[in-house]
Structure formats: C-alpha cells, structure tokens
Amino acid sequence: MISQSLKLHQQYKSCGGKLGYYSHQSSACNSEIKFAVYQPPQAEYQPVPILYFLSGLTCTEENFMIKSGAQQFAAKYGLMLVVPDTSPRHTGIPGEDDNWDLGSGAGFYIDATAAPWNAHYRMYSYVVDELPKLIAENFPVMPEKQGIFGHSMGGHGALICALKNSDRYLSVSAFAPICAPMHSPWGQKIFTHYLGENREEWRAWDGTELVMKAPYNGSILIDCGTTDSYLTDGQLLPEVFAEACAKAGQALNLRMQEGYDHSYYFVASFMEDHIQHHAAVLCG
C-alpha cells in the first residue's frame, strides 16, 4: 500500500514488472521531488534488493528509465531500480534555471552550505537518508541490501555516497563519473556556488579525496568511453581517481571502452555488466 505522502503520476508494465513515476514533498530539499521506481516481477511475491541510479546533468527521473534498457536486466536478476530527479526544482532561487550546469538539473548530489542554495539543494541527504526510508516504507524491498550507481554527475554522486557510507551501499559502479571534481571545471563551478570559497570544505564531496581517506569496502566498477569529449577536456579525470585508488589499496576495475562517447548509447551498451556487478553482491 502506497502512503498518502506519495503521489503516483504514471505507471507502466515493463519487462514483466511495474514502472512508476512518483513525487512527494521532501523535507531534505524543502520542495517537491520526483523519482521513478521499477519493481521487477519478483517483487510481486517477495522483497527484493534495491539498486539506486543517479543521473547526470540536465536529466530527470525519466531519462534512465527511457534510454538505458535497464529494466530487462533488473527483471532478470530481481533488483528494484530507484531513480531520483537530479535536483530540486521551482524553488524560487534567483538564477536557478539560468545555467544548464548549475541549479535545476544540477544538484550534484551534495548538501549545499552556501546561501541561497542551502535552503533547498541537499540532494546528498535526500539520496542517502530520506529516499531510502521512503522506499522501505512503501515498496517490497530488502533495505539492508542496497547498491548505487550513476552516470557522469550521477557517477560522481554514486562514488561519494558509497565512499561516505560503505556500510549502507554494498555495491557501487559508475559510467563516466566526474571523479575528481575539485580539479574539474564543472566541480569547481558547482562547489564554489554550493559550498563557498573554502576549498578544504570541498574535500568531503570529492571521490578522489574520499578514497584516499577511507577506501570503500568492496570493488568499484567504472566504465569510460575513449571518445568521450568530457574525458578529453578534463572534466572526468578517471586517471586521477585510479591513481588515488592504487595508493589507497582500493579495488578498482576501470575499463576504457574504445570508441564510446558520453551518451546513453554508451550507458546502454554496458548496462548488463553493471547490473551483474551489483547482483553478484546484492543477490549472492
């Protein structure tokens, strides 16, 4: 039974399961937040593990479900997929919709501490604390078995959520993540606005800094395309993350996929590999 705090907007049958689009009033973000849930066929008769996916810049809760082809593999392995929107929206913050890489669609999965963003842009707390409680209360899941993955900005989000909470996320992977945001143009722009000018405070939201401080308790899978324009212009920096992992003794499977770019064509091409990576831990 779905609680009255959740609003179901649309529901579809997909790969033998159910895909629903929901919204609710978030206390973490002080605004309405939307999210999508795919319930595999197995969820009809038993609780199932949960796999969270964090999408990239400009995306919503819909992009992954429409473009990735993940439902067929979630159905195959018996995993529930949960995909939140990428930011709060319509908060009234001046300039919120002016830039594609700041504000709406660009929550960056951190908790803003600088005004005016700190009143609403707290996507880390939403993803790590509020959303899992909501899912556990309303869907047939095994809350103790959850994994997380993401793409681009969402890959950054998946890495920091897992590295900061290795006891909660039993598995983690990423497609073309922003691996060292303190050293990338995107990260520097976002961190300055959301966190302020003190770079020491940025370290708590940088995957490369976090892995050197406290490695993740498990293996990390990362895929990047060799023709990804964001790789060549220094936005992603997987080599910096790999070097930090080597120094920290972190198990990392970094795969550079020849000829692939940053798009969902790339993501869909290796989706089953990532679902398998998570299922091996969550369903083992």
Q: Which amino acid is at 47?
A: P
Nearest Cα to 35, choosing from 50, 52, 18? 52
In the numeric block, the tokens 């195959």 are attached to 76
CA distance 188 to 238: 16
What SS3 state is found at 253?
Answer: strand
CA distance 216 to 212: 10
Provide the angle, in degrees to the nearest 10, between the axes of the packed helices 271-282 and 70-77. 30
* Largest CA-CA distance found in the chain, in angstroms, rounded: 51
Q: How far is CA 57 from CA 100, 105, 172, 243, in A?
A: 7, 6, 19, 26
β-pair type (169-175, 141-151):
parallel
DSSP state of 225: E
CA distance 153 to 219: 20
Q: What is the phi/psi pair of residue 27, to 5°?
A: -80, -35
DSSP state of 102: B
Catalytic residues: 152, 228, 262
